[in-house]
Amino acid sequence: MHGDAHHETAVGVRAAVAAYSLWGFLTIYWKQLTGFDPFELIAWRIACAAAVMAVIVTVRHRWGALRTAMRNRAILRRLTVAALLITANWTAYV
C-alpha cells in the first residue's frame, strides 16, 4: 500500500472507530434522560438538525438549490420519505 493510501486508510479507520464508539456510548446518555419524553427528545433533535443545516446552507450559499428542490414534486417526495425514515430511525434508537 502506498504511503498516502495507508495514511488515508488509517485516518478512516480511526474516524470509523470514533463514530461507532460515540454512537454506542450515546445509548448510555439517552438512558440518563429519563425525565424527557422520547418524542420531545426527537423534536429537539429535529430542531437542532434543522438549525445546523440552515447554517450550512447559508454558509454554502445554497438556498437557491434548496428552493429549486422544493419546487420539484419528485425530489420533494423523496426528501419527505427520507425525512420520515430518519425520524423513524431516531425514534427507534432513542
Taking only the tens place, the pLDDT of each residue in 37-89 is 878 888 888 899 999 999 999 999 999 999 999 999 999 999 999 999 998 88
The residue ranking higher by pLDDT, 29 or 2, is 29
| C-beta separation of 42 from 87 below 8 A | yes
User: Quick count: other Cβ atoms within 10 Å of Cβ 78?
Assistant: 12
Which band of pLDDT confidence, cut at 50, 70 and 90, is reported for residue 16?
A: very high
* Whole-number pLDDT of residue 75: 94
Assessment of whether the complete model's pTM goes beyond 0.75: no
pLDDT at residue number 1? 55
As given in the structure block, the three cell numbers for residue 7 are 495514511
